Amino acid sequence: MNSGRWWVWLLVAVLIATCTYVWLNRNTAKPAGSSGQEAKTRVLTVPVSAVPAKTGDMGVYVTGLGTVTSLKTVTVKSLVDGQLMSVQFREGDIVGKGKLLAQIDPRPFQVQLTQAEGQLVRDQAQLVNARLDLERYQTLSAEDSIAKQQYDTQKALVHQLEGTVKVDEGLIANAKLQLTYAHITAPLTGRVGLRQVDPGNIIHTTDTNGLVVITQLQPITVLFPIPEDNLPRVLDRLKKGARLQVEAFDREMKEKLDTGYLLTVDNLIDPTTGTVKFKAVFPNSRNQLFPGQFVNARLLVEVIHDSIIVPSAAIQRGPQGTYVYIVKADRTVGIRPVTVGVAEEGNTSVTSGLSQGEQVVVEGTEKLREGSRVELKTENGNAGKRQRR
C-alpha cells in the first residue's frame, strides 16, 4: 500500500511540473509577427547627427603664453632742485605728451634770469662804446697819430666784450631753461602710476624714485615664446614681406582682447626651453591689455584656401588611423579613412579621403559599425529626416 501511494505522489509531481513548464513557456514566448520585426529594427537602426563636409579657408596658428609689455616706460624726474609747489595729475590718469604734471617754485630761476638779462645789457653797452673807440683809433692809426699798440689793444677789448656778451646770452638761455624745467611735463602719452612725492617737499635731480612713472599703453606689445620648430616657417613668411596677424586672448582662451601683428623675432633660441621669443604689437584701443598681464598670443602663420572642413567631432581614430563615418543614400554608414590637416576652433581640415557635400556623422558614432543603418536627427533632436532650409 505504501508502494502504491509513492507512485501516486510521483505522478502528481510530474503533472505539476509539466503544467508549470507549459504555462511559463506561453507567457515568455516572443510573438513572431510585427512586434518581433520592430524589435529587430530598433536594434539595427541608430539615431545620429550628420553634417555635410564644406569648403573654406583654414588658418594655421601657433600659440604661446605671453606677457604684455609697454613700448615705453619713463620715470619722471625733476631736472632742477626746488620745492614742489603743486601736482597737476591724478594717479591712474591717461596723460598726453606735454601735459603739465607738476610745478616747482619758479622764483629762484626768475631771479637768475633777471640778473643775467641785466648783465647782458651792461656788457652790450660796454661793447658799443668799445667799438666806437675802435673806429676812432683806426682813423688815428691810419694817420699815424697814435701808436699801433694802442689800436691793437682796443681791438682786443672789442673782441673780449663780444665774448662777454655771448656768455651773458648763454646765461640768459640757461636761466630760461631752468625756468622751463620748473614746469614738469609728460614726456610721452601714457598712464601715470602712483605719486612718489607730495607737494611741499624739496625735490632734487638726484632723487632715485622720481616724481611718478608713466607707462605707454597705446600701442602696446606682447612677448610670447614659440617652439623653435615653427621658426623656419615664420621667418620664411617674414622674408617675403608678409605681415603676420597675432590675436591676444585671455588666459582661458575664451575672450579675444585685441588683434595686432608680429613686430619682430628675437635673435637667439633659449636652449633650456627650445623656444624663441616673438614680439607682437597691438593698438590696444580699448585698453584691455595691461603691462605685466598674462595672455595667450595666437600667431596666424598662413591660411590654407579651399580646404575640406568638417567638425572635429566627426574625426575618429583607430588602430588603422583616422577615419569618418559617411552617411550613404540608403541611410547606412560606411567607414572612410581620411588624412587630417590642421584643427582650429572645433573644425578640422581633411587633406584627402573626403569630398565636399558628403555627410559625416558628428554625434552617435559610439554605436556605429560598417553598414549600420542610421536615422538622422532633426534640428529639434528627434529622429527623422533632416529638414532642409
199 DSSP assignment: T
In this predicted structure, the answer to whether residue 168 has a pLDDT above a threshold of 60 is yes
**7 Cβ contact list (under 8 Å, min separation 6):** none
In this predicted structure, the answer to whether residue 384 has a pLDDT above a threshold of 50 is no
Mean pLDDT along residues 144-164: 90
User: Among 223-232, 360-369, 372-381, which range has the highest average pLDDT?
Assistant: 223-232
Residue 369 has a pLDDT of 87
Domains assigned to the chain: 45-58+306-376 (2.40.420.20), 62-71+217-305 (2.40.30.170), 73-214 (2.40.50.100)
In this predicted structure, the answer to whether residue 365 has a pLDDT above a threshold of 90 is no
Residue 367 has a pLDDT of 83
In this predicted structure, the answer to whether residue 34 has a pLDDT above a threshold of 50 is no
CA distance 280 to 63: 12
pLDDT band of residue 212 (cuts 50, 70, 90) is very high
Mean pLDDT along residues 290-308: 92
The lowest-confidence range among 25-39, 70-84, 259-273 is: 25-39
Mean pLDDT along residues 173-189: 95
The lowest-confidence range among 46-50, 176-180, 296-300 is: 46-50
Beta strands in 193-329 (DSSP E): 202-203, 212-215, 220-227, 245-249, 256-270, 275-282, 294-311, 316-318, 321-327
Residue 317 β-bridge partners:
322
Mean pLDDT along residues 321-347: 89
Mean confidence (pLDDT) of the chain? 87
Residue 141 has a pLDDT of 81
In this predicted structure, the answer to whether residue 248 has a pLDDT above a threshold of 90 is yes
Inter-helix orientation angle 107-142/148-181, to 10°: 160
CA distance 351 to 308: 7
